[in-house]
Amino acid sequence: MCISLRSTFFFRQYQRMFLPPVQHGATVLNRELFRRTVDVIGVRVPTNSVAKFLKVLNKDLFNQPKLKNVVNDPESSNTKIVLLNPKVESLELDNIPSDIKNFINNEGLGIVRHSVELNYDYWGADDIIKAILPSGVESPTSFTQVGHIAHMNLRNEFLPWKHIIGQVILDKNPKIATVVNKTDVIDTTYRFFKMEVLAGENNMIAEVKESNCRFRFDFSQVYWNSRLHTEHGRLLSIFKKGDYICDVFAGVGPFAIPAAKKGCIVYANDLNPASYNYLVENIKLNKVYDKVYPYNLDGKLFISKAVLDLQKAYDDNAESSKTSKVKSNATLQKQNSCNFNHFVMNLPATAIEFLDAFRGLWKDKETLFKSLNLELPMIHCYCFSKSDTPESEIVERINTVLGHPLQEDTYKIHFVRKVAPNKDMFCVSFQLSHAICYGFFSEKRKQDIINSAPQDSTSVEGDNINKHAKRHKLEDQ
């Protein structure tokens, strides 16, 4: 019991020896106050015997992070000082095994005291910030790096020290030039957070490399999350060369541009003008001008326009082929497509609400699709859930918006990441059904759609549903 208590006491003392001086409550960073002198015991040895001593004293050396076990001897250039474990507190070499003590006495040139000087540069950000914040408070040193920017998300309790925290993060991370904190203010239209510069340059133009592509953007004006790079890679691995991708909420292009580099044709959209402008710039930066078609529209408008534009491009290509040398149908299909293979909907807060844009979107294309043997598109829709049973909750929301239930075993729900203690992000992947694509719904759902449609479009929508109901009755039961 006595030995255990003594060991515990020494361990705590030993820990305190290497901690920075406490500066609780400081709101201005004074680096000169972070100094400490640690006195240790050392062995004076001939320079040519250093390697031998290091081998024999291996378990009894100083062995402190970022500090040397061997230092110059201030009294002679022919000798060095080999520093011992801080638990050795006296020149009599207490706490050293007898065989090691005998070796030191026989082979060494004397036992000396040595002072190790620690300063601000020695300690990491976590130690410095703990020394500044009130006792017992955790150190908020985590951040997401976006190019040269460190993006923090400080809780309210840390805001009185926000600038000093930012300065410490800046000091301790050589690749960081700007430290920002996300404020509570969010742009409700374009869904990006306002940023406050805590330390460093007021430069929000970031350059990032991801998926072998380069991205440039104003971090204060667009959405970018470096924590999603694994998810970007996962979805990109599903795409095949030659696939046609419709990226509904493309941002600055983290899905669109790597997909184009892979050989896909991408129609990419974002409502935010700043995101659209940087998407265009990143298309040029990565030299995928002929593979990415950028748009700046509302998501629902874009879905319908992209489908129409792709169809027109296909029709124009087919027409030009007729007037030039005849090409085989196989060659024509390889050069162009009249439909998308994948729709990416990465706006997890509201993407599910946009799914109704697919209802009857290809209502007049069934014959064409079947003649070309085209598969119906895959949807990759991101969303949040706070439910204890997220899968059933997500599927219920999707079914409500689509107006037609997803069948079991026809969808996959992938967990992306935890964004808050009770909030998770998911990606739901499913293939659109014939009922959705071609506009066939149950009688009840058909009446719901007719009742909810604008007055001037009711007859058209109703006629379309009736027109397709009989054709798909057997197929979709």
Q: Which residues are annotated as a binding site for S-adenosyl-L-methionine?
A: 232, 270-271, 298-299, 346
Q: Are 78 and 7 in contact (CB under 8 A)?
A: no
The secondary structure of 178-209 as a DSSP string is: EEEEEEEEE-TTT--EEEEEEEE----EEEEE
Spatial strand order in the sheet of 70-72 = 70-72, 79-83, 36-46, 111-118
Binding residues: 232, 270-271, 298-299, 346
**Which residue, among 60, 38, 51, has the nearest Cα to 113 in the 3D structure?**
38
Put the strands of the sheet holding 144-146 in their side by side order: 144-146, 149-152, 178-186, 193-200
Tokens standing for residue 148: 């040269």
- What are the strands of the beta sheet with 411-420, ordered from one edge? 292-295, 265-269, 244-247, 342-345, 378-385, 423-431, 411-420
CA angle 302/307/309 to nearest 5° reads 90
205 backbone φψ class: left, alpha, beta (φ>0; ψ -120 to 50): beta
Show the DSSP H helices in 205-272 as ranges: 229-238, 256-261
- DSSP 8-class letter at 225: -
Other CB atoms within 10 A of residue 475 CB: 11
Do 440 and 471 meet the contact criterion of CB atoms below 8 Å apart?
Answer: yes
Residue type (1 letter), 188 = T
